[in-house]
Amino acid sequence: MGELRDAASADIQYDFDIHSPDIADTLDDVYAEMRQKCPVAHSPRYGGHWVATRYDTIQQVMRNPAVFSSESVNVPDTIGQDGSMIPLEIDPPDHGIYRKLINPLFSPKRMAELEPRVREITGELIDEMLKHEKVDFVDAFARALPSRVFLALMGWNVADADKFNHWADTIVLGEPGASEERSTEVRTAAATEVYTYFAEMIDERSESADSEDITQILISGTFEDRKLTQFEVLNILFLFLIGGLHTVQGQLAHTVIHLAQRPEVRRQLVDDLALVPTAVEEMLRRESAVCPARVVKEDHVLDGVQLRAGDKILIPFAAANHDADKFADPDAIDLTRDPNPHLAFGAGNHRCVGSHLARLELRVAFEELHRRIPDYRLDPADPPVRHLSQVRGVVKLPLILGESL
């Protein structure tokens, strides 16, 4: 047993800022360094917080909600939402009650029924892309697909997709380049607009008797023996918006960047589209965009480090999924990697409720894209722009179609 360290120990300090654009392109190297030097590190940012980078440690945190609470998963604390996000920021036992209501909304059966519509939307976006030699893949596809699919799933107006994208971008990104205060202001304004839109949808659906309609299921949903309040329904919908759009957008864009840079890997996929399902898992492992936080509820020793009640700890899944103790050759992209126990969707009670939807969108997108656009490359004069936050993503991805490296 080594010596017990704490927040004052010099050898575990690491100046890590999850929102810094300066490390957006080198994040994996930063995590690798932390994993090697100080796998449970202390960062002075945002009032001081912990960062865990080993797979096993992150698993331990996620599987122990009594000590590591989800009552606030953001660093700093708010992204403009009104109250705790449901079910993301709810602990057991209440968490399980909400999940019982929400899980069936994204069931594999419901997703299978949605597949033809996803393929149709994907096809329309590709038709449009093919009219050009160069596109911004984020605008033309990665941002467009998840919002349209989400609106189709909800039975809402697909023409509202652009409005949705604007809200989701603002809530996740704030105002790039502006101060943290200004970003919080624009986030809150966007969140208010979102709540108003949702409230209108709820009013519209209150009359409907469609028992398959998601809005309707939520409105008539119960928490133990009472009906959900409108506040709870709004809150759940808010989380679908911020959990379901940016994540898929980033995953689509990151995958295209990796495959554009590696024509031999892309060729393997184009030649055998049956590889798409394992390729999707491998790219989820490779990117793992989400990095939530947990609040420490009682003094606790984690991997020889003394955490105190009230501390916050970040658990970047990208760091876990590149841990060589768990994955052979973790920095390589192996489209056939199987098993692939990655944590891109989290683990334990908060495991992503939309994972079947995300997988459906990613699988259909990569089948259709590689069937119809086998060759594409980045433009060295106009490189992709990534952004870093607790859900990392890509804001711009200029792509030349019909050519390879």
Q: Is 292 in the site for ligand HEM (CB under 6 A)?
A: yes
Distance in Å, CB of 331 to ligand HEM, minimum: 19
From 17-25, 124-132, 194-202, 340-348, give the range in contact with ligand HEM by CB under 6 A. Answer: 340-348
Q: Is 121 in the site for ligand HEM (CB under 6 A)?
A: no
Distance in Å, CB of 362 to ligand HEM, minimum: 7
Considering the complex, state which of residue 258 and residue 377 has its C-beta at the smaller distance from ligand HEM: 258
**Contacting ligand HEM (CB under 6 A), which of 45, 99, 134, 300?**
99
Q: Is 280 in the site for ligand HEM (CB under 6 A)?
A: no
Q: Is 80 in the site for ligand HEM (CB under 6 A)?
A: no
**Contacting ligand HEM (CB under 6 A), which of 43, 53, 57, 70?**
70
Q: Is 58 in the site for ligand HEM (CB under 6 A)?
A: no
Considering the complex, state which of residue 79 and residue 401 has its C-beta at the smaller distance from ligand HEM: 79
Q: Is 114 in the site for ligand HEM (CB under 6 A)?
A: no
Q: Produce one character per residue of 138-153: b if its CB has 16 or more CB atoms within 10 Å, e if not.
A: bebbbbbbbbbbbbbb
Q: Is 319 in the site for ligand HEM (CB under 6 A)?
A: no
Distance in Å, CB of 276 to ligand HEM, minimum: 15
Considering the complex, state which of residue 12 and residue 283 has its C-beta at the smaller distance from ligand HEM: 283
Considering the complex, state which of residue 194 and residue 357 has its C-beta at the smaller distance from ligand HEM: 357
Interface positions, 357-376, toward ligand HEM (CB under 6 A) = 357-358
Q: Is 247 in the site for ligand HEM (CB under 6 A)?
A: yes
CA angle 61-81-71, nearest 5°?
Answer: 25
Distance in Å, CB of 170 to ligand HEM, minimum: 18
Cα separation, 39 vs 33, in Å, equals: 9
Considering the complex, state which of residue 285 and residue 370 has its C-beta at the smaller distance from ligand HEM: 285
Distance in Å, CB of 39 to ligand HEM, minimum: 19
98 contact partners, CB below 8 Å, separation of at least 6: 86, 87, 90, 223, 236
**Contacting ligand HEM (CB under 6 A), which of 65, 354, 384, 393?**
354
Chain positions contacting ligand HEM, by CB under 6 A: 70, 73, 87-88, 99, 239-240, 243-244, 247-248, 251, 289-290, 292, 317, 344-346, 350, 352-354, 357-358
